[in-house]
Structure 1
Amino acid sequence: MAYQVAERVVQLRPSPTLAVSDRVRTLREQGLDVIDLGGGDPDFPTPEHICRAAAEAMLRGETHYVASAGIPALRRAIARKLREDNAIEVDPAEIIVTPGGKAALFVSILALVGPGDDILMFDPGWVSYEPMVTIAGARCLHVPLDPAENYRISREAIESRLTPATRLMIVNSPNNPTGRVLSEAELAAIAEVAQERDLLVISDEIYEKIVYDGHRHHSLAALPGMAERTLTVNGFSKAYAMTGWRLGYVAGPAPLIKQIMKVHSHSATCATSFAQWGAVAALEGPQDFIGQMVSAWDRRRRLITERLNQIPGFRCPLPEGAFYAFPDVSGTGLSGQEVAARLIDEAHVGVTPGDAFGEVSAGCVRLSFAESDDKIEAALDRIARIFGG
């Protein structure tokens, strides 16, 4: 039988980060000791008070459908968080709770753009932005950022890629994979172009709590003139070590949220009911454990950066945020793909090749330091054995 599949799906690449994890699992099933630095899953457990809140919700019968946009208590808590942490004023009715931050991005893109539309994104950028745009039938415009300038975003770089069909920009800070935290000047440049060209913006702020060395996260929607054109996407996976809970949200202007809600309600129906009560506890409970996790990641980023820079052919800047190191490995004479292949095959260390995040970073690899100190040390020892240092 000849199976027919939609061409827009045939052309998609499977998620490169998940492909690394799948390869790691396959090798482990063969009995090999493989260290996975390819993903982005915090090695810390979800705090007990969050787990307890979800368990108690299940026990009292919160195991059925809830409002598609999310339970009122959680939307109120998110609105309060956005006001206090991000200086963003939204009504709880302008928030949709989704099964993960990825779902929030996906339903937003599907609702906002379609065939004939151009969407601008910055390279290097997260692996799933372009596939989402492709599934929506739109086209991605890539803005290549120069590593020699620390991947700085400028007005000139944005304007050089715009077309009359450009409708939307996707912005991510702190950035996956580079770890860059956008400065106020960079955000101002994005805001100026968005307002002058009447563009919508999706601001992916999933790593907002994970910043170092005095860097501060600033939300685009808080800038003058940006609230009416910005969708803020966030979630609970990274800051609260809740990756498996699959909880995210999108907040923005009511006319946009109304349309996004149609896509969400026809796809996910609602995010998991009892998990949402855990998220309420996450936002309303103690926050000190976030600082404890960030302190551990701070220590690990310094370790991994120092060790990688001792390896011939590796050049690794110190990340400003998130929990990824993104070394340029072109000095080895190999591409990022070739280095990643050698590391998984010979060192049994899983990393993500840089071209997964854009052509500009084909000479890089991404390593997650959201792993234990012992595993990071062991992985670095293995990498050094293969490449020296």
Structure 2
Amino acid sequence: MSRGRTARFLNIQPFGIEKAAAAAGHDPEVLRMENLDTDVAPPPSAVAVTRQAVGRRDANSWLPFTGLGQLRQVVADQLSAQTGRTYDPVTEVAITGGALAGLLSALLATVDHGDEVVVTDPTYAGFINRIRLAGATPVFVPLRVVDGRWRLDLDRLASAVTQKTRALLLMSPSMPSGHVFTDAEWDAVAEACSAADCWLLYDAAMDKILFDGLRSRHPASLEQLAERTITLGGVSKNYRMIGWRIGWAVGPAEVMRDVALAATYNTTVASGFGQLGAAAALTASRDGGDGVAAAVADWQARRDLIVRELAGLPVVKPDGGWSLLVNAGALGLKAPELSQRLLQHGRIAATPMTEWGQHVAPEYVRLVYSAEPLERLKGIGERFGAALR
């Protein structure tokens, strides 16, 4: 018996990734650039510790619900080093089943039905739909292309915050664009949060994946944002540990109690052996043993090759992350049409950004370069040429 969909799901849309993946099938000649995976291996120490932990009693318990003390301490130490603010691992850190599980818990703890959450356009479709699942409404602030790079529209940001704004949800580097916030943009975010007296939900899942010598600036290092920021982090992207499904939410104790409750009543506890592997990765990062620097150099080389081979096409160069965007509209095509052409004539699987924003994102197609090595990416310009003929 069907009673129809609940109202909660009426505006929830699929990523579009699964459709692009299904169309590509299992053809080995297709460049798999539709999904945010990577072929770069996780830290060896994390793999070894995880294997050793499987089946051990200390890695096979419901307790503690908010995460193993060892991992909470390492996370607190890392965030304190990045921000200059001391975090209490007991009251201000919750370990979650991935950063995005932490995000949904943070949204449930900070927004109510009818509230508004400001995001960029484009942004991660998972942000948009989690906001809706929490009962709030996403408000989009466009990213603009300036001198070939993404920049936040500061005037639109200032006008986007209202009495209904309860949070800004931002990521740097951002998915899917690779936009990295400048100091001026973070200052504008601080002003907007102060004006609205709202939270900043900051997804730091890619904060180490920066190109061209750019340095990360954590927003909680700003005095205005130190007590407004909830950081969502994890090991999936920086440390290439997608399958571990370990993340964290970190913020002021006044809100973290509710974040932790939401996480507990959703998944109860994150994987014990996964947590120990994550702790090993973060510990290794203290002396560079996490492989992040080498991975970032590899991903930057892939980005540079693609940008070089697609010279003359409307490609926006990312400053970090795992993907870049191509403007289908500037080529006289709809994004789904360009995606279809790329697969049929260029043997490239790429996802149209139809559901990843409001007005800007639907013009673009995403190319994920983190899962295809340089040797396979060579010749991507010829593939594009075949698709556009």
TM-score normalised by L of structure 1: 0.93
Equivalence for 1:12:
12
Which whole-Å deviations, capped at 9, do the CAs of 1:304-330 have from their partners, x for residues lacking one?
A: 1111225xxx21132211121212233
CA contact (8 A) 1:36 1:349 kept: yes
8 Å contact 2:335–2:354 — kept in the other structure? Answer: yes
Q: Could you tell me which residue of structure 1 aligns to residue 31 of structure 2?
A: 35
Question: Where does residue 316 of structure 1 map in the other structure?
Answer: 315
CA contact (8 A) 2:43 2:239 kept: yes
- Equivalent-residue separation in structure 2 for 1:22 and 1:248 (angstroms): 28
- Deviation for aligned residue 1:57: 1.4
Q: Cα offset for 1:155?
A: 4.0
Aligned CA-pair RMSD: 1.8
Please give the per-residue CA displacement for 1:39-77, whole angstroms capped at 9, x wherever unaligned.
Answer: 111211222211111111124332232311110000000
- Alignment equivalent of 1:121, drawn from 87, 109, 119: 119
Q: Secondary structure at the match of 1:102?
A: helix
Write out per-residue CA displacement over residues 255-291 of structure 1, whole angstroms, 9 at most, x where no aligned residue: 1110111111111101100110001110112534111
Q: Aligned partners of 1:380, 1:107: CA distance in 2, in Å?
A: 42
Measured in 2, the distance between the counterparts of 1:155 and 1:315 equals: 23
- Give the letter aligned to residue 362 of structure 2: A
Task: Give the partner amino acid of 2:311.
Answer: N
What is the distance in 1 between the residues matched to 2:355 and 2:349?
14
Amino acid at match of 1:80: D
What is residue 372 of structure 1 aligned with on the other side?
A: 373
What is the letter of the counterpart of residue 376 of structure 2?
K
Answer whether contact 2:202 2:231 (CA < 8 A) is retained.
yes
Q: Which residue of 1 is the match for residue 362 of structure 2?
A: 362
Q: 1:92 matched to which residue of 2?
A: 89
CA shift digits 1:53-112 (9 cap, x unpaired): 111112433223231111000000001111223434211021111111111111111221
- State the partner residue of 2:41: 45
SS at match of 1:42: coil
Contact 1:154–1:189 at 8 Å: present in 2 too?
no
Once the two structures are overlaid, the 10-residue window that deviates more, 11-20 or 277-286, is 11-20
Cα gap change, 1:242 to 1:380, in 2 (>3 Å): farther
Q: Please name the residue that 1:206 is paired with.
A: 205
Give 5+ residue unaligned stretches, structure 2: none
- Alpha-carbon distance in 2 for matches of 1:19, 1:218: 36
Contact 1:305–1:325, Cα closer than 8 Å, also in 2: no
Using the alignment, how far apart are the partners of 1:51 and 1:146 within structure 2? 40
State the shift of 1:22 in Å: 4.1
CA distance in 2, matches of 1:22, 1:64: 37
- CA–CA distance in 2 between the matches of 1:95 and 1:351? 37
Kindly indicate whether the alpha-carbon contact (under 8 Å) linking 1:354 and 1:366 is maintained by their aligned counterparts in 2: yes
How do 1:281-320 and structure 2 match up within 5 A? 281-285=280-284, 286-288=287-289, 289-310=291-312, 314-320=313-319
| Aligned position for 1:78 | 75
Maintained 8 Å contact 1:155/1:193? no
Matched AA of 1:372 = P
Aligned to 2:161: 162
Deviation at residue 379 of structure 1 after TM alignment: 4.8
2:47 maps to amino acid = C
Greater relative contact order, per chain length (Cα 8 Å cut-off, separation 6+) = 2
Question: Which amino acid in structure 2 is aligned with residue 252 of structure 1?
Answer: G
Moved more, 145-154 or 48-57: 145-154
- Alpha-carbon distance between aligned partners in 1 of 2:386 and 2:288, rounded to the nearest angstrom: 40
- Paired position in structure 2 for 1:145: 143
8 Å contact 2:150–2:318 — kept in the other structure?
A: no
**2:39 alignment partner AA:** D
> Of 106, 109, 112, which residue of structure 2 is paired with 1:111?
109
Report Cα offsets for 1:339-377 as digits up to 9, x if no partner: 012222333321121333222132221101102112322
CA distance in 2: counterparts of 1:380 and 1:89, whole angstroms: 48
Counterpart amino acid of residue 294 in structure 1: V
**Contact kept in structure 2, 1:317 and 1:327, CA below 8 Å:** yes
Instruction: Name the % identity.
Output: 28
Q: Distance in 1 between matches of 2:331 and 2:196?
A: 43
The match for 2:384 is: 383
Q: Which residue of the other structure, out of 128, 131, 134, is the alignment partner of 1:130?
A: 128
Task: Give, in whole Å, the separation in 1 of the partners of 2:164 and 2:317.
Answer: 37
Return 14-23 or 229-238, whichever deviates more. 14-23
C-alpha separation in 2, matches of 1:200 and 1:13: 26
How many aligned residue pairs are there? Answer: 381
- The yes-or-no answer on 1:330 pairing with 2:329 is yes
SS of the residue 2:163 aligns to:
coil
- Contact in 2 for aligned 1:174/1:217 (Cα 8 Å): no
Q: Deviations over 1:129-160 (max 9, x none)?
A: 11111111111111122224743225422122
- 1:67 equivalent in alignment to 2:68: no
**Distance (whole Å) between structure 2 residues aligned to residue 211 and residue 123 of structure 1:** 20
Matched, 1:348 2:344: no
Give secondary structure in 2 for the equivalent of 1:227: coil
Q: Distance in 2 between matches of 1:330 and 1:155?
A: 24
Task: Give the AA of the match of 2:283.
Answer: E
Q: Distance in 1 between matches of 2:226 and 2:173?
A: 20
